[in-house]
Amino acid sequence: MTFIEPLLFWILVPFVALPVLIHLINRMRYTPMKWAAMDFLFRAKRSSTKFAKLREILILTCRCLALLFLAMALARPLSGGWLGSAFSGDSETVIILLDRSSSMSSLDDSGQVNKVQKSVALIQETAAKMPSGTSFVVIDSSTLKPIFLKDTKSLSDPVLFGVTDAGASMKDMVSSAYDYILSANPGNCELWLTTDLQMNSWQPESQDWATLNADFKNLKSNVAFRVLALSNQPSKNKSISIKSTRRVKLEKREILEVTLQVARNYTGPETIQLAVNLNGAETVKQISMTQDSLLLTHQFELASGDDGGFGSFSLPDDKQPGDNFGYFAYGKHVELNTAIVSQEKHSRLLALAAAPPRGGFSNSEVLDSNVLLTKSINDYSLIIWDKPEIEEQLELQLIRYVKNGGQLLVFAQHVKDSKLFSQLEFGAIENAEEYKIGDWNEAIGPLADSLQGESLPVSKLKVTTRQLIKSPGQVLASYEDGQAFLSRIGLGRGTIYYCSTNLSKKWSDLYKGAVLLPMLSRLVSEGSKKFSSVYFESSRYDQQLANLEVLLGDKDSAVKSLHAGVYQKENDVYVLNRPAYEDGEALVDEESLEQIFDGHEFSMFNNSSSAEEDDTQSEMFSLFALLILIFLAVEGFLTLQRPLVKEVTA
Amino acid sequence: MKEIKKRDFLDPELLAKLGRLTVEARRFMEGGFAGRHKSPHRGSSVEFSQYRKYVQGDDIRNIDWRVFARTEKHFVKEFEADTNLRAYMVFDCSGSMNFAGEDDTKFKFAQKLVATLAQLLVQQGDSVGLQAFNDKMIKDLPPRTSPKHLYAIYETLGDLQPSGQTDLITTLHNLAGKIRRRAMVIIFSDFFSDVNKLIDCFSHLHYKKHDVAVFHLIDKAEMEFDLTRPVRFEDMEGGESLIADPASIKGRYLKEFNNYLKEFHDGCLSHNVEYHLAVPGEGAEGVLSEFLLNRLRGSKK
């Protein structure tokens, strides 16, 4: 339990002893009286002493408790406070898991304090009341490294422990804590987890939690989990995120298309001022919103010969400043080429799908494998292999191509038990009336949902013939029977994709294009990244991203990769934005957390909002007022109650 | 010049009111003189009692010759013997008798009762003695009839001071052993002793055929115990003191006290001891007139 006025509480607490003091003074201030019938007094005292003492103690207890609750009520108690729930008293080490992710930038009602600052303040307040000798270790969501704290005051350092634009994985943080406990063996521990309960940070469905839970049970140390949840979300929040950038050459014009998404957690028509920055030139764009989300493409006219630049989109300040910025950058114009190695009739369809006539930015050509050997193979963004055999020399070249960042898509072969690119070992060819695709990754990969959030019609694909692969790598889509439809294997900077069917009508209706077209487009786009010196990444702690030079963004940050912005490292440009999952609004509930920490000592304090805090405080006041009344009533009853005496007439 | 002592215990108004009443004995008395009370012996009063056959040794003056003339047999005519009574005023002078609530002390109240009764008894020709005691006999004035003796009783009463502990039990047993002839024993005390032992004393007195009456001196404050603030109770007879919150023990105290009163009262009745509760605040007239009238009616309490 915490108090809004703790000082007042400590001032009033001594008054609790007042009834005892008065009682003692009264006992000392007795009146002497000569008495004749002493025997009766002694007998009465002897027989009533036990009851009288008990009654006296009860009366005094009631009075003291009434005063104590009055003191507590006046000190404005908060129910289930973090102090009350966090403090168990017998822990030797407190490991603070500090969520510094972008979503923790949410400000309180005053607009001054974000969730990281608030959680730090609560931790410091609690730590001050811990027994001396308690050790404090902090593991923050960005570095995941345990740092021993001399005292919790250093948590106030905004550079080391301030909010970042990086994501957070509670699972990784708890895992880091486990590693620390295992290595340091710090005795009984409490894990204080600060969180905004974001579902994406917790991923309660993950199987890793069960493993972690079991690991913690096997520790010698007793570990208690205390969750400090700050789940309040601003009632009106807008966010912006950059979805893609594309440099297009349309005849003589060069256009930079930036697709961005503006989202908000409320509805109603609204005109939003969008600040646009391109290479330092700032303009304002007005957009009208009626729905909760708007996907829009902004076109910048680039000067001929523009070798690259950067910019940002930003929204006016609101209660969650961490999601009001989106950064982008672009490099010089690159031609996107796709090579299709196929002797099948449907190769023309593949060429069309890889470079749609009105796409305006890519080319495709159907080649024989011999011809490909003569070409500069690394100039291709994507190579599609739709042929049963491969020459050894070309195979080695293609492996090098992939390792250099190229994308290679291989369609099912016709030769059983063959092997390609040292990675793909094919199995039997199977036929059926129809193989339905039951599951596919809609978040990442070539079959991911569109920017508008629409799913590709993968489930409608009709596959009649398929060739299974023995070691599929990462499965991106699978049939209803669990066999892989599309899988990928990372190799160096590039990726080999394997599709278990092909465009032949005898095999599937993939030729219809509804799935094929976006799939190839995305693979081409992915393959083009190797030509660019611009890298789009999520803000994170990464040693390889040390020594970044700030082109756009917060120049004062200590670890720059933790903050969104545009950075340069040698000849490469890094665009760092907060991870998309940080915009998720879904929250994990207490029940799920209890399940995660099942079998361990667990408590959760949800400091959801200041308004609720007042409610809680008020509710507690009523409770204390009720307790005071109860104890006064009991006291009154005990005071007035006398043993009934039968009158005896002599 | 002889000092004139003020005797608060003598109340002329009270004596005037009670002066017409007499103190009657409930049992036969054996006095030294002729008086108004019945004796167990045959005497020469005017009240005929019975005839009986003459036996050798009888005074021939008591033969009824008229009966002899009619029957030629010798019969002796017997008459009731009236005698005076000898009253013993047993007066408790222990420290506890000095207790006073809002009224007079129990001691002063008892003085008034003793003096008034002594006056009435002497006035009707009976003998009165005074036995003042605490843990021992302080004064032992044997019963006498003369006004001079009454004066001595007053003197003694005036000189007495309540102090010390009580040993009522021994006193009463000694007294029962000492009084050889039937007498009236009137005891004035708060009787804060063991009830069973007291009843034994009364049994002893009753066995000796004495007419016993007790005036139980209890103060209103002792009966009501209406105290509020914490009190250090100091034993008036020099015993242990006690600090207590009266409110917390009042119930138990009253229960114990009332039980005692009832037990004592019932004990008195069962041994033919006349019981009177004498509360100082309620005045002497009430309790004395009740005592006298009861006796006049010959009723037993």
Q: Do A39 and B230 touch (CB under 8 A)?
A: no
pLDDT at A220: 80
* pLDDT, tens only, A496-515: 999 999 888 889 998 888 89
pLDDT at site A3: 67
Residues of B in contact with A647 (CB under 8 A): 258
Residue A116 near residue A140, CB atoms below 8 Å = no
pLDDT tens string A214-269: 999 888 878 889 898 888 877 788 999 998 888 877 777 888 889 999 998 888 89
A56 contacts in chain B (CB < 8 Å): 248
| pLDDT value of position B263 | 92
Measure in Å the smallest separation between the Cα of A640 and chain B Cα atoms: 10
Mean predicted confidence (pLDDT) in A314-320: 88
Q: Which of A33, A54, A60, A644 to mutate to test the interface with B (most CBs of B within 10 A)?
A: A33
Low-confidence ranges of chain B (pLDDT < 50): 1, 299-301
Residue recorded with tokens 């201030």: A29
pLDDT-above-90 percentage for chain A: 20
Q: Is the pLDDT of residue A88 over 70?
A: no
Chain A residue numbers touching B230 (CB-CB < 8 A): 26-27, 29-31
pLDDT at A552 over 80: yes
Q: Which residues of A lie inside 8 Å of B (Cβ-Cβ)?
A: 26-27, 29-45, 47-48, 52, 55-56, 642-650
Cβ count within 10 A of residue A82: 27
Q: Which of B234, B239, B258 sits opposite A33 (nearest CB)?
A: B234
- Chain A residues whose CB is inside 8 A of the B104 CB are none
Higher per-residue pLDDT: A612 or A76: A76
Is the separation of the CB atoms in A261 and A243 below 8 Å?
yes
Select, from the ranges A50-64, A396-410, A525-539, A611-625, the one with the highest average predicted confidence (pLDDT).
Answer: A396-410
Q: What does the pLDDT average to over A380-405?
A: 87
CA of A588 to nearest chain B CA: how many angstroms apart? Answer: 59
- What's the gap in Å between the CA of A38 and the closest CA on chain B? 6
Report chain A residues whose CB lies below 8 A from the CB of B261.
Answer: 648, 650
- Residue A609's pLDDT band (cuts 50, 70, 90): very low
Q: Pick the residue from chain B with its C-alpha nearest to A641.
A: B248
Average pLDDT over chain B reads: 83
Task: Return the domain boundaries, chain B.
Answer: 12-28+85-297, 37-83
Q: What average pLDDT is seen over chain A?
A: 84
All residues of chain A having their beta carbon less than 8 Å from the beta carbon of residue B287 are none
CATH of domain B12-28+85-297: 3.40.50.410
Q: What is the mean pLDDT of residues A563-582?
A: 88
Asked if B191 and B198 touch (Cβ cutoff 8 Å), the reply is yes
Interface touch B240/A38, C-beta < 8 Å = yes
Rounded Cα–Cα distance for residues A508 and A492 (Å) = 31
Does A29 score more than 80 pLDDT? Answer: no
Q: How many CB atoms lie within 10 A of CB A288?
A: 9
Instruction: Give residue A303's pLDDT.
Output: 85
- Per-residue pLDDT for A79 more than 60? no
Pairing of strands A474-479, A437-440: antiparallel
Lowest mean pLDDT segment, chosen from A72-86, A180-194, B228-242: A72-86
Read off the pLDDT of each residue in A378-397 and give the average, rounded to a whole number: 86
CA distance A20 to chain B (A): 15
Mean pLDDT of A618-645: 75
pLDDT (average), residues A165-178: 92
CA dihedral B225, B227, B233, B237 (to 10 degrees): -40
Contacts A36 to B, Cβ<8 Å: 95-97, 99, 106, 190, 192, 219, 222, 236-237
Instruction: Among B192, B234, B257, select the one facing A32 at the smallest CB separation.
Output: B234
Among partner residues A37, A45, A650, which is closest to B265 by beta-carbon distance? A650
Residue range A576-583: average pLDDT?
87
Residue B47 has a pLDDT of 59
By Cβ distance, the residue of A41, A48, A649 closest to B251 is: A48
The residue of chain A nearest to residue B265, with distances taken between CA atoms, is: A650
The answer to whether the CB atoms of B233 and A643 lie below 8 A apart is no
Contact A40 B253 (CB under 8 A): yes
ipTM of the complex: 0.76
What single-letter amino acid sits at A349? L
Confidence class for position A435, pLDDT limits 50, 70, 90: very high
Q: pLDDT grade, residue A610 (50/70/90)?
A: very low
Q: Say which range, A126-135, A484-493, B162-171, has the weakest mean pLDDT.
A: A126-135
Lowest mean pLDDT among A159-173, A479-493, B46-60: B46-60
Cβ contact (<8 Å) for A36 and B99? Answer: yes
- Yes or no, beta carbons of A27 and B243 under 8 Å apart: yes
Residue A496 near residue A423 (C-beta atoms within 8 A): yes
Q: What residues does A189 pair with on adjacent strands?
A: A93, A223
Average pLDDT over residues A555-563: 83
Q: How far apart are CA A612 and CA A230, in angstroms?
A: 12
What CATH superfamily classification does A336-531 receive?
Class I glutamine amidotransferase (GATase) domain (3.40.50.880)
Task: Decide if pLDDT at A90 tops 60.
Answer: no
Supply the pLDDT for residue A178. 93
**CB distance B229–A52 less than 8 Å?**
no
pLDDT of residue A645: 40
Per-domain residue ranges of chain A:
1-30+50-78+609-650, 82-229+589-606, 238-333+532-583, 336-531
- Lowest mean per-residue pLDDT among A462-466, A568-572, B40-44: B40-44
Q: How many CB pairs under 8 A join A and B?
A: 118
Question: Strands, E, within A123-188: which ranges?
Answer: 135-140, 146-149
* Interface contact flag, B231 A32, Cβ < 8 Å: yes
A223–chain B nearest CA distance, Å = 52
Question: What residue in B sits closest to A31 (Cα-Cα)?
Answer: B231
- Chain A residues in contact with B196 by the CB 8 A cut-off are none
A181-195: average pLDDT: 88
CA angle B208, B210, B212 (to 5 degrees): 130
In the prediction, which pLDDT does A648 show? Answer: 35
The share of chain A scoring above pLDDT 70, in percent, equals: 91
User: How many Cβ atoms sit within 10 Å of the Cβ of residue A386?
Assistant: 22
Candidates A26, A38, A647; nearest CB to B235: A38
Burial B281-299 (b: 16+ CB within 10 A, else e): eebbeebbeebbebbeeee
* For residues A282-299, average pLDDT: 89
On whether the CB atoms of residues A512 and A424 are closer than 8 A, the answer is no
Stated as kind and residue range, the H or E segment containing A118 is helix A115-128
Selected for mutation to probe chain A from B196, B248, B261, B262 (highest A CB count within 10 Å) is: B248
User: Is the CB of A36 less than 8 angstroms away from the CB of B264?
Assistant: no
- Residue A592: C-alpha distances to residues A200, A595, A597, A606, A627 (Å): 13, 5, 9, 14, 34
Q: How far apart are the CA of B83 and the nearest CA of chain A, in angstroms?
A: 35
Nearest residue in B to A647, CA atom: B258
Count other Cβ atoms within 10 Å, centred on residue A95: 26
Q: Which pLDDT does position B84 carry in this prediction? A: 67
Is the pLDDT at A629 greater than 50? The verdict is yes
* Nearest by Cα to A138 from A115, A158, A125, A154: A154
Q: Which long-range contacts (CB under 8 A, 24 or more apart) does B44-53 make?
A: B44/B79, B44/B81, B45/B79, B45/B80, B45/B81, B45/B82, B46/B79, B47/B79, B47/B80, B47/B82, B48/B77, B48/B78, B48/B79, B48/B80, B49/B78, B49/B79, B49/B80, B50/B78, B51/B75, B51/B76, B51/B77, B51/B78, B52/B76, B52/B78
Mean predicted confidence (pLDDT) in A302-312: 87
Q: Mapped to the 3 state alphabet, what secondary structure does A34-75 carry?
A: EECCHHHHHHHHHHHHHHHHHHHHHHHHHHHHHHHHHHHHHC
Tell if the CB–CB gap between B230 and A35 is shorter than 8 Å.
no
Contact B248 A55 (CB under 8 A): yes
CATH classification of A82-229+589-606, choosing from 3.50.50.60, 3.40.50.410, 3.40.640.10, 3.30.1520.10?
3.40.50.410
Question: Tokens 């040698």 belong to which residue?
Answer: A570
CATH code: domain A238-333+532-583 is 2.60.40.10
Length of chain A (residues): 650
Alpha-carbon distance A25 to nearest alpha carbon in chain B (angstroms):
11
Say if the Cβ atoms of B230 and A26 lie within 8 Å.
yes
E-strand ranges in A407-553 read: 407-411, 419-420, 424-435, 437-440, 463-469, 474-479, 484-491, 494-499, 534-538, 549-553
Number of H helices and number of E strands within chain A? Answer: 15, 31
Cross-strand partners of A386:
A342
Question: In the prediction, which pLDDT does A340 show?
Answer: 92
Q: Do B257 and A56 touch (CB under 8 A)?
A: no
Residue A84: pLDDT above 60?
Answer: no
Token pair for A447:
């079959």
